[in-house]
Amino acid sequence: MASFYAFDFEYDGIPSQRFDLKIITFEDGGLFGGVGSSNVNILSQRVLRKSKPYYLGRTQEPVLEFPLTFGTSKPINAMDRDLISAWLFGRAGYKKLYIMQDDLNGAYFNCMLKEPEPQYIGNLNYAFNCTVSCDSPFAYGPERIISGSVVYGGLGTSFNPLYFNIYNNSSEEEYLYPVINVLVGYNNSWFSIKNITDSNRLSLWKGLGTLSDGTQLSIDNDLQLISYDPPPSASSESFLSNFNKNWFRLLPHNNEIELIVHFAGVYPTSSSYFIYEIRWIERFKIGG
């Protein structure tokens, strides 16, 4: 049984109330065990004649899995069972599972529901048991967004550094890699973003001047992918080749950020601009 006190849930944007389903338990006692999401595998190595092993690191458990039981006060007929199964089981990819519980603060599990077991009383189906299998050891919080814009400040000049803080509230101690979306205005030459807290780690992107005015860039620092809209012409300089390969990342807790945009060109105008957006999703050890 999962350790939730809420009754309602939402999966893939569809609330359980549509089928009059509730999270339930068939346990007789008041005490049961949940499933945590903070277990680790410790990596160590022993050396001959050394009693203490050398600690090499640790890895989180591959995924979070926990059982879930839900049902209804009325028997579920065969056609409704088909609709429920099509909604919850055998999906082609991970879907968001929200448990409608106040203290979860909008957190969700990105998961698939597997191993469905219809539960019968007599020969009538009232409930389902299943296993929630997540794509990571964590639950996820609502997406966080910081955005802003920079306008032209003079021929061949860099905009005065813009400083702001990003607070990464994740329970995980590893780096978090956001997505950076950029709208390139006229005669943007390069931009850089530095995480001062992360030993002044600098991510520098050059070659903006080779892109068309109004090009939208999406930089996925986690997957290490850059996409364009519209795509650059065949003669354009490779944007990735002008990147210093320091993918932008966040440390746990507070991160002090410095953003610099450089404008250059023959005839920049007061309408030259640079619009940015930083998106990230925090990870929590809520368990199940």
CATH code at position 186: 2.60.120
161 found inside a domain: yes
234 found inside a domain: yes
pLDDT band at residue 228 under the 50/70/90 scheme: confident
Task: Report the Cα–Cα distance between both ends of the chain, in Å, rounded.
Answer: 8
Say what percent of the chain tops pLDDT 70. 79
Q: Alpha-carbon distance 97 to 95, whole Å? A: 6
Domain count for the chain, please give it: 2
pLDDT value of residue 266: 47
Per residue in 13-24, pLDDT tens?
Answer: 999 999 999 998
Task: Choose the final residue of a domain: 71, 105, 137.
Answer: 137
107 found inside a domain: yes
Q: Alpha-carbon distance 209 to 267, whole Å? A: 12
Q: Alpha-carbon distance 113 to 133, whole Å? A: 6
105 found inside a domain: yes
Judge if 87 and 207 occupy the same domain: no
Residue 130 has pLDDT above 80, yes or no: yes
CATH code at position 44: 2.40.30.200
3 found inside a domain: no
Judge if 204 and 274 occupy the same domain: yes
Judge if 128 and 147 occupy the same domain: no
Judge if 26 and 101 occupy the same domain: yes
Number of Cα atoms under 13 Å in the Cβ half of residue 55: 5
Residue 134 has pLDDT above 50, yes or no: yes
pLDDT value of residue 288: 61
Judge if 158 and 246 occupy the same domain: yes
Judge if 98 and 176 occupy the same domain: no
Task: Choose the final residue of a domain: 111, 137, 163.
Answer: 137
Per residue in 92-120, pLDDT tens?
Answer: 999 999 999 888 888 999 999 999 999 89
State which of 31-35, 147-151, 254-258 shows the largest mean pLDDT.
254-258
Residue 249 has pLDDT above 90, yes or no: yes
What's the per-residue H, E or C state across 130-141? EEEEECCCCEEE
78 found inside a domain: yes
Q: Average pLDDT in the 139-151 region?
A: 90
pLDDT band at residue 4 under the 50/70/90 scheme: confident
Judge if 33 and 125 occupy the same domain: yes
DSSP assignment letter at 233? P
Judge if 88 and 129 occupy the same domain: yes
Judge if 186 and 280 occupy the same domain: yes
57 found inside a domain: yes
Per residue in 25-81, pLDDT tens?
Answer: 766 555 445 555 556 666 667 777 666 776 666 666 678 888 999 999 899 999 999
Say what percent of the chain tops pLDDT 90. 47
Judge if 131 and 152 occupy the same domain: no
pLDDT value of residue 237: 55
Judge if 50 and 123 occupy the same domain: yes
Judge if 150 and 106 occupy the same domain: no
Q: Alpha-carbon distance 217 to 275, whole Å? A: 10
Q: Average pLDDT in the 198-208 region?
A: 91
Contact, 84 vs 76, CB < 8 A? Answer: yes
pLDDT value of residue 32: 47
Neighbours of 72 (CB within 10 A): 18
Domain that holds residue 46: 9-137
Laid out side by side, the sheet with 162-168 consists of 162-168, 253-263, 188-195, 201-205
Secondary structure E strands in the chain = 9-11, 14-15, 22-23, 40-45, 54-60, 65-71, 95-99, 109-121, 124-134, 139-151, 162-168, 179-184, 188-195, 201-205, 216-220, 225-229, 253-263, 273-284
User: In whole numbers, what is the pLDDT of the chain averaged over residues?
Assistant: 83
Task: Choose the final residue of a domain: 118, 137, 156.
Answer: 137
* Cβ contacts of 193 within 8 Å, gap of 6 or more: 180, 202, 203, 248, 257, 258, 259, 260
255 found inside a domain: yes
pTM: 0.80
pLDDT value of residue 42: 67
